Amino acid sequence: MAEFTRQRGKRQEDSGLGNVLDLLLANARLVLGVTGAAVLAIATLAVKRVRPAQPPSGLGGHAPQNWLAAPRLSVSRKPTRLSLVCSAPPETPRVESSPPHCLTLQEKLLSHYSSWLTVPETQASVALQLARSICTQLQNFLRSKCPELPFGSLFLSGPLLDGLGVLAADHIHLMLPVVLDAALWSLIPGEDTVVRNPQYWLIKRTDLEYFPRGRSPWDRFMVGRYLSSNALNETLHKMLVASINWPAIGSLLGSVIHPVVASQELKLEVKYDQIKLSITLFPVVEMEDKVLLAAPPEGLVENLWLESFYRAEVSKVKELDAGDSGVRQCCLRILNGVCKSHPALHKLSGSPLTHVVLHLSAASLDWAEESLADRFQQLLEELVGYLEKGVLPSYFNPKINLFCELLEEEIDEMGFMLYRAVSEPELLLKEK
Ligand SMILES: *[C@@H]1O[C@H](CO)[C@@H](O)[C@H](O)[C@H]1NC(C)=O
């Protein structure tokens, strides 16, 4: 596959679409047989060049959607009763031993899950404890150094706490609420602005005539008439790298803490014994039932706020699992683990996968433990379908295309990788 992709990429640069197609087809015939390759040929021609920020509203001008509609495999239906690890990870991770050939996909998935995807309990609790202590220190610092700014209580977030992603004790999000007076600020959808992207919002200062500049403590972060995520980031970045005495806090906590100076994000690296933890700080505004992060897109437009559905994603998946004793979370953890550690697939991990699971859950399917392998394989097929269209609509707002920031090449590479994995899911489990 690596060879396939590399050659494909090289040819693409060298000699244009014709040769790329020849190469694709030569490879596709091996995998698909002649008929499949023919379908692939038609669809490859129609692959869209530019990824829209929003899914198209009409049906016109759209690529054929069946090139990667791979034949469903007959999955072994033998129910496995391996007293599931899905709900509660074991305390210590098992040492990886390659599963013998006779295992069903279901068994391989479970084995993969218990080998790779669990964190020792102590490691997880140490990481959380560290993050909480740092959280407290940061809160104290903000309260004493900028008492005029009404920050809310910092709180922790991320897969380690919510259990949807990879259960690795290596990354924690630290959410910093920016509390705005609803009488002075209002939201403008990004869709109605030059960015034309429904994922983003602007936070506009209202009634400046009656409540002049200075009335809101956040006015100092105003650019034009908008609350600037960039200005806030800038200030916090300065504080994090230059004002806070991390060596002192580190020694207080028996650890070494470094702010990452060159990062786009507000990031700290923490070392404690064998544990390496990265903590990312996200300023967050909650307004009009929306959760907005100061995580503007790269370059170009300033002041934007990204709408986050993370909390809604987590609670919806948990609610669905609770309703039918489903294994959506288990499935997600496996798939997240696979994608996160795979060089071609890592951009799929996190939110996009959760939305695919939520879409799939809308069809009344069996998510019981015995169906783990079936659902896993089906998720791969669904993903391939979305990649083919270049559009993955958000479950919570179909106007948002969760693939809009992926490059054409990335989409192609993921599509081919996952396409092969549909008929041979073990390909994914070997990676790492
Ligand atoms: C935040 O500010 C720092 C320092 O100016 C910068 O390096 C970084 O790229 C900014 N991040 C974003 C997301 O704008």
Beta bridge partners of 269: 258, 278
Same fold, 121-308 and 311-429: no
User: What is the percent of the chain with per-residue pLDDT over 90, rounded to a whole number?
Assistant: 56
Tell which atom from ligand 1 comes closest to the C-alpha of 229: 14
Match domain 311-429 to its CATH number in 1.20.1440.230, 1.10.1410.40, 3.40.50.2300, 3.30.70.660.
1.10.1410.40
Residue located nearest, by CA, to atom 2 of ligand 1 = 234
Return the best residue to mutate from 200, 235, 236, 237 for the ligand 1 pocket (most ligand atoms within 8 A of CB): 237
Q: What is the tens place of the pLDDT at every residue in 310-367?
A: 999 999 999 999 999 999 999 998 998 889 888 899 899 889 999 999 999 998 789 9
Ligand 1 contacts (CB < 6 A) are 230, 233-234, 237, 264, 296
**91-100, 147-156, 159-168 — most confident range:** 147-156
Class of domain 121-308: alpha beta
Residue located nearest, by CA, to atom 6 of ligand 1 = 264
Q: Which residues contact 213 (CB under 8 A, 6 or more apart)?
A: 219, 222
Q: What's the rounded mean pLDDT across residues 52-56?
A: 64
Domain ranges, ordered by start, for the chain = 2-50, 121-308, 311-429
Tell which atom from ligand 1 comes closest to the C-alpha of 296: 13
> What is the distance in A from the centroid of ligand 1 to the CA of 242?
14
- pLDDT number for residue 295: 87
Examine the pLDDT at 93 and tell me if it is beyond 90. no
Return the best residue to mutate from 233, 292, 298 for the ligand 1 pocket (most ligand atoms within 8 A of CB): 233
> Is 0.85 topped by the overall pTM?
no
Tell which atom from ligand 1 comes closest to the C-alpha of 233: 1
Q: What is the tens place of the pLDDT at every residue in 219-249?
A: 999 999 999 999 999 999 999 999 999 999 9
